[in-house]
A and B are shown apart, each in its own frame.
Chain A
Amino acid sequence: MKIYRNPDVMWREEDEFKEQAYKGLDTGEDVAEIGTSILLHSGKMHSLNVLGTEVWKLCDGRTVEEIISSLGEDFDVDEEVLRKDVIEFLENIKEEGLIYEE
């Protein structure tokens, strides 16, 4: 099953916060609470952290496995933990109508 971003969702990365999150990752800080992108759909704003943003950007027709594999190259995280987080995140944003599967 391929995953796509809903084209009706407007989004952008916030450069300043993205830089702050990546600096934090380099120094081993917890950056889960730093929002690095903002999404707007049906009048509702969503903020994603650095991992969420990277998953979101990879929702371009890739499968879940392809997304996990691509993230594994960039994030130094246990694969099973990453898999669980990504699947849970994708379920959440699918419920919000931000992505769709085909």
Chain B
Amino acid sequence: MNLKELAFPIRIYWDLSPAPDNATIDYPGICREIVEMRFFSLNLRDAGVELSSTCMEILEALNNKPIAVALTVSRSVINPSMMTRLSGLKVKELLIDAFTDEDFRFIAELRNQYNNSTMVIGASFQINKYNYRGIPDIISFCLNNDLTRIVFPMQRLTAKEECFYISRQDGKDLSNKLYPLNTGNLKLTIHDPFLWRVFYPDTAFPGAGCQAGNSMAYISPEGNVYPCPSMPKILGNLNNSPLKILLSSALKKELVKSLRKSPVACLGCKEIDHCIGGCRGRTIALSDSLELRDPACQ
């Protein structure tokens, strides 16, 4: 069916600034637009040591609205009164940034403590060149401690984060180590088709190709709107334009149209059905071209 271009995305990622609030951005107005455009989910991230007033303002504005809100925070914000508050605001998923073994233990304990909560508690683990070899140990720990929800967030390449990907050989090695573990009970969120292959080498990536701008959008802490956290192509800034205008702009439509075509370098590749062109944002970040192969493929 030809529903390849959605009127508006269904998932929005929104990172808040740990610095003082951007007073010029109309946060309640953006929340109204998000509801009006009928997004399915908001993935809100507040990386501050405390939850910002902006974050609470957004959660309150979306409370009881038909949108699933997942909130990612650092463990320093977690305390009993905050848990009650977030639960009352109907946060669907509470994801806690995990960097160390101690963080994972903390999350597992919290999850056991709030076992009966309707709010799903899980870990957000940003893979990078320093920690990727520890993935099998982390998965093993999670399986042994009933920590079943793990998100591998998209890299913020829009913020010039260092681009990281697992090489084909490292991916195979990791996959062999993961194979004996029964990951079937875990609910993993994997955005990268090549990371997907590490976990599920025999199952095609369950996506319809790069969804930047089509089913997903991203708001950076500065109010910049991008098609995806990993796609460094700015659509505009919320200080100057409403979200709805940016997400229905000719610029966005042209980008989505060009992303529907496979990269020229992938034409004829027998693996295209598996990776569906890979992460196009990563390719742009590293080469400024949509036509080259995702470096993770090599």
Contacts and interface: CB of A to CB of B under 8 A. Distances in A.
Contacts of A12: 10, 38, 40
Nearest to B11: A40
Contact of A14 (B6, B41, B68, B189): B6
A49 interface: yes
B206 interface: yes
Contact of B208 (A16, A45, A48): A45
Interface residues of A, number: 18
Contact of A38 (B2, B10, B41, B189): B10
B189 to A, nearest CB: 7
Interface string B21-40: 00000000000000000101
A34 B7 contact: no
A47 interface: yes
| Majority SS at the chain A contact face | strand
A98 to B, nearest CB: 14
A40 B216 CA distance: 13
A17 B4 CA distance: 11
B42 to A, nearest CB: 12
B45 to A, nearest CB: 19
Contact of B2 (A33, A40, A43, A45): A33
Best-buried of A17, A35, A44, A45 by chain B (most CB within 10 Å):
A45
Given A10-B41, A40-B40, A44-B206, A15 B7 contact: yes
A89 B1 CA distance: 15
Interface string A41-75: 00111011100000000000000000000000000
B6 A38 contact: yes
Contacts of A38: 3, 6, 10
A14 to B, nearest CB: 5
Nearest to B66: A10
B1 A43 contact: no
Contacts of A44: 206
A49 B7 contact: no
B230 interface: no
A44 B68 CA distance: 16
Interface in A3-44: 10, 12, 14-17, 33-36, 38, 40, 43-44
B74 interface: no
A17 B3 CA distance: 8
Nearest to A48: B1
B262 interface: no
A69 B10 CA distance: 32
B40 A34 contact: no
Contact of A34 (B2, B41, B215): B2
B1 A14 contact: no
A40 B27 CA distance: 26
A14 B3 contact: yes
Interface of A: 10, 12, 14-17, 33-36, 38, 40, 43-45, 47-49
Which 8 A-B residue pairs are closest in the complex by CB-CB distance? Answer: A35-B3, A35-B1, A10-B40, A47-B3, A47-B1, A12-B38, A40-B40, A44-B206
14 contacts: A10-B68, A12-B40, A16-B7, A33-B2, A34-B2, A34-B3, A35-B2, A35-B3, A36-B3, A38-B6, A38-B10, A43-B189, A43-B206, A49-B1
Interface of B: 1-3, 6-7, 10, 38, 40-41, 68, 189, 206, 208, 215
Given A34-B2, A36-B3, A44-B206, 8 more contacts: A10-B68, A15-B7, A17-B2, A17-B3, A38-B3, A38-B10, A43-B189, A45-B10
